Structure formats: structure tokens, C-alpha cells
Amino acid sequence: MAPHRTTVVVGLLTSLLWTISSAVAGETARQLHVEAEIPQRGDFMSVGFGSLWMMGREKLVRVALADNAVTEIPVKGAAGEFRRTVVGEGAVWVADNQTIYKIDPKTNLVVMTIPADFPVNSGVEGIIGVGEGSVWAVTGGSSDQVLRRCSAQTGAEQATIPLPSPSARAVVIDFGSIWIAGTREVELYRIDPATSQIVATIDLHSRPTTLTSGEGSVWVRQQDGTVQRIDGSSGKLLATIATEATDNYGDIVVAGGFVWTSSQTVPLVQIDPQTNSRRSRFSSPPGAFMGYSVAYGGGSLWLGGSALFRVKLPE
């Protein structure tokens, strides 16, 4: 997931260069099977309430998993270029500029707003997570960031948690904890929602870029193309996996018994959690550019890029 999008032409050139370099390395990439191509561009996708959600400029885009029908929902006051969209606590949440919007999926209406002092940096999305009855938002400047906890029902502030390091681009709520990575210190922080305190710090291999959870673990995608697996119960580092998907941004998701990571250099890489190793690498179909973001829903993978691509889940 990138703060400044290149043109499709540059993206296609990047894909071509990767194909050439892979051929030289003697590794064959499998081609993704596109089930549907939807002419929508956005980022930071989430799935819930029978739909895929993402922000595209001034509107929240809702794509029905059943038939790919698109609904565009105006979000009054939204002005950012790239906005994180999160599903949880019975609603859809959008972090935009200096505001968190709560959207009711039954009515597609904004039902609450929460002011948020997101770091002021052109092109950087607001970082939020939702769970344990709260909205968790990374706020403040680059040197004094805090994780701010607000009630998902009223928006009232419940706690502020100082962060030892500026955070990566995700907050994951799973295994009874809140997980957030520090980019400067190259660490993963585990926060207890009962006390709103950091209870564990886990050293990472490289600069973290985003997180996900599944298969009993938290998975940290990192700048140098590695993915690290941390046990969700003990917090113990279980594996460091090389993927070659080097990118400052990209995305990661757990689906269909595998872990999938995307980047602008490698559209999709499949990791087998049974062996903690890379299983397959995938290329975009001719004429398509993928790699901005990835999500899972309705039995398919969804990849962002020159359009929104619904992709058959590879075996």
C-alpha cells in the first residue's frame, strides 16, 4: 500500500522488469486467474457484512461479494487521498485526514465521527484498528505518537498509550490483544486491552510495513521482503520467511489455509504456514497491474492496482 501511486504505465513496466528478472533467476511464476475486473481504484480494503469496502477519493466503495455490484457512498468531509477502511464492532470505519468516520452497513450512512490527530504527512493514511469494544488510532507527531483508544459506541476517549516508536501501517486486534509494530525501533508491541498497557515487545528482522493475523499467529510483512510469524498466544517468534516481495508498502492477508502478501514488484506470493516457507509466486495477467493491496472475501482474493481485481483463490 503506497502513499504515492505511480501511473499504470510505470506499474506495467515494473511488472515487466520483475518478469524478466525472475526468468533470469530460473523461477516460473504462476499467472493469476481473474474472475472479475471492477473499474474502481482504492486502497486499504476490508471485508465484512457481505461486501468488500475501500475508499476511492471522495467516496466509500462497497462491492457485494455475491454479485460484484458496486455502491458508492459519499463521505461528507472526507478529503484525504488514501484512507484506511476497517470493519468491526458492527460498523465500517474510515480514517480520513483528521477524522474517523463510523458508517452503518445497513443504511450506508455516517452515524458518528471521532476527531483524530493523525500525523500530518501528505499521503500518509490514518492508522486505526477496531475491536475489544474500541477504536484504536495512532495519533500525534512522528516523535511523540500515541495509540488513542476510543469507545466504539460513543467515541469517548478511554485511554492514550505512548508508543516507543512510530508505528507501521496497521493495528491488529486478535488473541485478546492489540498488536502494533514500531518502524523506527523495528519492534512489535503487544497491548493488553484490560489495562491499555504494552505488555510485551518483540524484536523484528527488518522495518515492518503491515500486519495481519490468522492460523494462530500474527504475521508481519517487512520492507526487505521477509514475513515474520509470531505465535498469537505466547508472543514467541516462530519463523522468518523470505518472499522477495520487497516494497515499502504492499499488503498481507491470511486466507484458505495460506498467507498471501502483495507488492508492486511481486503481485502476489503464497506462504505455507505448515512449512513456514514460500510456496508459489504469481504474476499479473497481460495488461493488468496489481500489487497495491490484497484482501479475502466470498471465496476470492481481491487485489488493488490499475483496477479492483477479483481473483480465484489459487490452490
Are 87 and 130 in contact by the 8 Å Cβ rule? The answer is yes
The CA distances from residue 231 to 13, 175, 216, in Å, are 38, 10, 6
- pLDDT score at 81: 62
**What's the domain range around 101?**
8-312
CA 221/CA 235 separation, integer angstroms: 16
Are 115 and 97 in contact by the 8 Å Cβ rule? The answer is no
Which class for 40: exposed (0-12), middle (13-18), buried (19 or more C-beta within 10 A)?
middle
Are 62 and 69 in contact by the 8 Å Cβ rule? The answer is no
Q: For residue 129, what are the β-bridge partners? A: 136
The CA distances from residue 187 to 165, 207, 210, 215, in Å, are 8, 8, 12, 21
49 is a domain residue: yes
Are 45 and 302 in contact by the 8 Å Cβ rule? The answer is yes
Residue indicated by cell numbers 500474527: 218
The three cell numbers of residue 274 are 505448515
Give 250-273 pLDDT, tens digit per residue.
899 999 999 999 988 888 999 999
Give 103-162 pLDDT, tens digit per residue.
999 999 999 999 998 876 544 568 899 999 999 999 987 678 899 999 999 999 999 999
2 is a domain residue: no
Q: How many domains does the chain have?
A: 1
92 is a domain residue: yes
Cβ neighbours around 186 below 10 Å, total: 17
| Residue 249 pLDDT grade (very low, low, confident, very high; cuts 50, 70, 90) | confident
Least confident of 145-154, 162-171, 234-243: 162-171
CA 135/CA 109 separation, integer angstroms: 18
Which class for 108: exposed (0-12), middle (13-18), buried (19 or more C-beta within 10 A)?
middle
Least confident of 65-74, 88-97, 117-126: 117-126
Q: Any idea what the CATH number is for the domain that residue 161 is in?
A: 2.130.10.10
- Rounded to the nearest 5°, which phi and psi values hold at 108? 60, 30
Kindly tell me if the per-residue pLDDT of 80 is higher than 70.
Answer: no
pTM greater than 0.85:
yes
Nearest to 197 by CA among 142, 160, 153: 160
Residue indicated by cell numbers 498509550: 161
1 is a domain residue: no
